[in-house]
């Protein structure tokens, strides 16, 4: 079956809403896992015939708000505690500074090169290649004899926070994975698996909120052209499935390696290459 034929299976008056729901589920399931939500969404958009035009390119970023609100809901108590203590307790102040340091590199590069990235790198061929490469990176990290020095995400050194932020910048290439780059970077700099995964959650908050706000402003004319319902549907499903993943991911990585995510990336990327060049 060709991609065009597959996309033709979803047609009719509610086709866009069904597609938006599917993409919302994909976003929620993949945003906080080291598999690249953007890469998955680009492949699914291609499969569903959704990705034509500027709105198709913006949709993936806009529905991230559902996943990030799921994370904010679960972490609300800790966020509130951090906010109320950040001016009175050095530990809280230091962690907020660390998050901002980690957020800074992606914010700068996003403003400077965001247009170039969306124009030239949002390509399914790039996604497939980076999915495969990222899968082998995860397998390699699993086999490395790393000696963790940090077991709480609030206790990383300030230079380490900044270096993790630099690692996150690689995720601007679709298919790399924001959470994957953050987790691998943190582990390479001395974090254990759980604290690395948890800091990827903390860093997701300013990164994803900033990306959403920037994209929403740039796409404000498209939002006014009758696309709000599709975004709302994608948002709802993104929230539900993002909530499920956040609730389960930390306990999973404490007991398991990254092999499941690594092989998923490799298989999906390989199938994508076959579909692009042979179908």
Flag whether 154 is in a domain.
yes
- Residue 2: what pLDDT? 44
- Residue 131: what pLDDT? 97
Flag whether 44 is in a domain.
yes
Q: What is the dihedral of CA 224, 205, 197, 116, to 10 degrees?
A: 50
Flag whether 3 is in a domain.
no
Flag whether 1 is in a domain.
no
- Residue 214: what pLDDT? 79
Flag whether 156 is in a domain.
yes
Question: pLDDT tens digit string along 38-63?
Answer: 899 889 888 887 755 555 666 777 78
Flag whether 4 is in a domain.
no
Enumerate residues 6+ apart whose C-beta is below 8 A from 192: 148, 150, 151
Question: pLDDT tens digit string along 266-277?
Answer: 999 999 999 888
The more confident residue out of 13 and 48 is: 48
Say whether pLDDT at 166 is over 90.
Answer: yes
Flag whether 8 is in a domain.
no
- 251-264 burial: b if 16+ Cβ within 10 Å, else e: eebeeeebeebbeb
Question: pLDDT tens digit string along 104-149?
Answer: 999 999 889 888 887 888 889 999 999 999 999 999 999 999 999 9
- Cα distances (Å, whole numbers) of residue 15 to 27, 49, 210: 18, 11, 30
Say how many domains are in the chain: 1
Question: What is the value of pTM for the model shown?
Answer: 0.88
Q: What is the spatial distance between Cα 65 and Cα 9, in angstroms, rounded to a whole number?
A: 28
Q: How confident is the model at residue 10 (pLDDT cuts 50, 70, 90)?
A: low
Q: How confident is the model at residue 7 (pLDDT cuts 50, 70, 90)?
A: very low
Average pLDDT score over residue span 257-264: 96
Q: What is the spatial distance between Cα 263 and Cα 257, in angstroms, rounded to a whole number?
A: 11
Q: Would you list the DSSP string of 49-118?
A: T---HHHHHHHHHHTHHHHHHHHHHHTHHHHHHHHHHTTT-HHHHHHHHHHHHHHHHHHHHHHHHHHHII
- Residue 1: what pLDDT? 45
- Residue 14: what pLDDT? 78
Q: How confident is the model at residue 226 (pLDDT cuts 50, 70, 90)?
A: low
Domain assignment of residue 32, given as a range: 14-278
Flag whether 7 is in a domain.
no
């Amino acid at each position: 079956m060709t991609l065009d034929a597959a996309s033709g299976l979803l047609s009719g008056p509610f086709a866009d809403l069904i597609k938006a729901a599917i993409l919302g589920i994909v976003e929620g399931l993949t945003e906080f896992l080291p598999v690249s939500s953007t890469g998955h969404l680009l492949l699914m958009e291609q499969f569903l015939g959704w990705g034509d035009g500027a709105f198709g390119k913006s949709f993936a970023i806009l529905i991230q708000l559902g996943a990030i609100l799921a994370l904010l809901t679960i972490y609300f108590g800790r966020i509130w505690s951090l906010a109320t203590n950040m001016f009175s307790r050095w530990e809280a102040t230091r962690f907020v500074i660390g998050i901002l340091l980690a957020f800074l590199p992606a914010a700068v590069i996003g403003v400077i090169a965001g247009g170039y990235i969306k124009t030239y790198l949002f390509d399914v061929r790039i996604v497939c290649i980076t999915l495969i490469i990222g899968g082998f990176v995860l397998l390699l990290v699993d086999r490395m004899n790393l000696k963790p020095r940090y077991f709480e995400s609030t206790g990383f050194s300030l230079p380490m926070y900044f270096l993790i932020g630099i690692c996150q910048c690689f995720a601007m290439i679709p298919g790399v994975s924001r959470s994957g780059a953050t987790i691998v970077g943190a582990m390479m700099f001395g974090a254990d698996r759980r604290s690395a995964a948890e800091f990827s959650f903390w860093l997701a908050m300013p990164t994803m909120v900033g990306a959403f706000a920037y994209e929403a402003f740039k796409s404000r004319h498209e939002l006014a052209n009758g696309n709000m319902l599709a975004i709302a549907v994608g948002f709802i499903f993104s929230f539900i499935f993002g909530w499920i993943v956040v609730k389960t991911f930390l306990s999973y990585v404490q007991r398991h390696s990254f092999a499941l995510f690594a092989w998923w990336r490799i298989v999906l990327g390989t199938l994508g290459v076959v579909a692009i060049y042979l179908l």
